Amino acid sequence: MNKILNYYNNSRHETLTQTLFKAYPDLKLIYKFISPYIMEHNNNNLETLFVKKCIKYNYYIKQKSDYEIDKNDIVKITSDNDKLKKKRTILDKDDYKVINYNGNIFKLQNTRTNENIFRPRYALRLNEVSN
């Protein structure tokens, strides 16, 4: 088990590497890649930089106009029907009205058929017409 943990902790972590190198290009001069081991043992400041970058990105996302979805808003649902992954997102043709939500799960009503369904927040896009 220790061998697996050591391998994992010393391996390149793409999210850590890309996030930190993009935000702080000078790190490329010091490190070839970023791993949890490097963050913990070689430079404790890297973890702080990574957390700050994540908080900044989270703030950016929350500032978008479609971040808040309230009751009675009209939304579209993203679909995973694109098997070849040739499109970024495919939106369902029907509009849905937000009936209620609990945390990240939204109860929606199809405006055409009145069918009720449940979807997570990440699968919803605020319909521009409703704003």
Q: What is the mean pLDDT of the chain?
A: 84
Tell whether the model's pLDDT for residue 73 goes beyond 70: yes
User: Are 128 and 101 contacting, i.e. CB atoms less than 8 angstroms apart?
Assistant: no
**How much is the average pLDDT of 5-13?**
90
**Residue 20: other Cβ atoms inside 10 A:** 23
Class of domain 74-130: mainly beta
Q: How many whole angstroms separate alpha carbon 27 and alpha carbon 35?
A: 13
Q: How many whole angstroms separate alpha carbon 38 and alpha carbon 31?
A: 9
Residue 111 is encoded by which pair of tokens? 């405006």
Residue 7 banded pLDDT, cuts 50, 70, 90: very high
Residue 108 banded pLDDT, cuts 50, 70, 90: very high
Q: How many residues does the chain have?
A: 131
Residue 101 parent element (H or E) = strand 96-102
CATH 2.30.30-classified regions of the chain:
74-130
